[in-house]
Amino acid sequence: MKKVELPKPYVIFLGDTQNILDAKTALGLLDWCKEDCIAQVSMPGCKIDLNLPELTPSQAAEAGAKSIVIGIAPTGGKINPKWRELLKEALSAGLHLVSGLHTDLEDDEILREAGNAGNSRLINLRKAPDCKQVASGKNRTGKRLLTVGTDCCVGKKYTALSIYKTMRELEFKTTFRATGQTGILISGEGIPIDAVVSDFVSGAAESLSPENEPDHWDIIEGQGSLFHPAYAAVTLGLIHGSQPDALILCHAATRTQIDEYPDFSIPTIPECIAKYEESAALTNPKSRVVGISINSSDLNLTARKEYLMELGALTKLPCFDPMSDSLTSFIETLRSY
C-alpha cells in the first residue's frame, strides 16, 4: 500500500470565503504545521485572513511553494467554478493542487489540462492509492498508539497530534501517522483509511505504521467508532492493522448519543474501554487503554474539573482535555511502556 505524499511547503487557497466555519482545513494547517504554509491566495471579498503573505499563485510558486491546498470547504463540498482561474494559474505555474473536497479533480478537464501544461499533479485526498495489500497479522517491532472514539468527531485527530507534539518536545522517537484528509495535509503523507476497499483496510493500516526501532512510537490518528452503525468496520480494520500497544479513548464530555444517529446510545466509558481492548486483542493481546482524552468545550471550568476528576476515579486512568491540559507528565509515563 503506497501512501499519499504531498509536496511541501504549501500556499493556502481561501477563495472568497465569508464564513470562518468553512475554513476549518486552513485553520487546522495553521494550528499544526504553520511552518509549512508560506502564503495565502484569496479572491476579492474574502473575509478570512490567515495573516500569511497574500500572493498570487505564480508569486507563491516563485517563493518556493510546492502545492496549493484548498483550505476551505463550502457547503456541498465542491470546487466552485469561480475558483478555476486562480487554480489554473497555480497548476500552470507548477504547483500541485491538493483537495479534500468531494469534486473529483481529475474529472475537471480545464484543471487536468492546466496540470499537464505545468507538469503538476491533481491530488484528491478522498482517494486511496490503488494498492491491494492483505494484512499479515504479524507483529512488528516499534510501539504504536492509536486514538479511538466513543463516536466520530470527538477529537481523535487533535488528541493524536497533541500527543505527537508533546512526544517531540520530550525527545521521544515518534512519527504521526495520518489516516484522514486533514491529518494527511498536516503530516504531508498518510492513507485516507475510509477510502480503502474493505478487503484491504487492515493491510493499509499495517503498511502505514511499519516496523520500527523498539523505542519508536507511531502515533496513529483514529477513525470512526466501534459504536457507530455506519463506520465501525473502518474502525475495526484500523485497529487490527495498527496492532496498537496503547489506546487513547476520546470522548466529548456531554455527548450521550451517536451524532446524527439518535437511536444509538454511547455506552458507559468503562464499557467502551472493555470493548476497545477486546477488539484490539485479536492482533495485540497486550493492547490497553492508557488514557482518556475529553473534549470538554461544552463545560465550564468547574464542571470540567469535576468531570475529569470523577472519570479518573472511576477508570483509574489519566484523564485530560488536550485543548487545555499539559500532556507532559502523562507522556513521561509512556517512556517505560
Closer CB to a copy of itself, residue 12 or residue 135? 135
Closest contact distance (angstroms) between CB of 271 and a copy of itself is: 11
- Distance in angstroms (rounded) separating the CA atoms of residues 182 and 61: 22
Contact residues for a copy of itself, defined by CB under 8 A: 128, 134-138, 193-199, 201-203, 227, 229-234, 236-237, 240, 261, 263-264, 282-283
Closer CB to a copy of itself, residue 264 or residue 307? 264
Closest contact distance (angstroms) between CB of 228 and a copy of itself is: 8
* Residue tagged 505555474 (cell numbers): 93
Closest contact distance (angstroms) between CB of 199 and a copy of itself is: 4
Closer CB to a copy of itself, residue 64 or residue 229? 229
Closer CB to a copy of itself, residue 138 or residue 316? 138
Closest contact distance (angstroms) between CB of 203 and a copy of itself is: 6
Closer CB to a copy of itself, residue 135 or residue 246? 135
What is 254-270 written as a DSSP string?
T--EETTEEEEEPPPHH
The alpha carbon torsion through 14, 20, 24, 26 (nearest 10 deg) reads: 30
Closest contact distance (angstroms) between CB of 238 and a copy of itself is: 8
Closest contact distance (angstroms) between CB of 140 and a copy of itself is: 13
Closer CB to a copy of itself, residue 170 or residue 232? 232
Closest contact distance (angstroms) between CB of 202 and a copy of itself is: 5
Q: Spell out the residues 6+ positions from residue 302 whose beta carbon is closer than 8 angstroms to its own.
A: none
Give the distance from CA 301 to its chain's centroid. 27
Q: Residue 61 burial by CB count (10 A; 0-12/13-18/19+): exposed, middle or buried?
A: buried
Contact 168, 268 (CB under 8 A): no
Q: Which three cell numbers stand for residue 218?
A: 507511531
Closest contact distance (angstroms) between CB of 233 and a copy of itself is: 3
Closer CB to a copy of itself, residue 22 or residue 194? 194
Closer CB to a copy of itself, residue 110 or residue 134? 134
What is 28-60 written as a DSSP string?
HHHHHHGGGEEEEEE-TT-----SS-B--HHHH
Q: Spell out the residues 6+ positions from residue 118 whose beta carbon is closer than 8 angstroms to its own.
A: 91, 92, 93, 94, 95
SS3 296: coil
Q: Spell out the residues 6+ positions from residue 284 whose beta carbon is closer than 8 angstroms to its own.
A: 139, 243, 244, 245
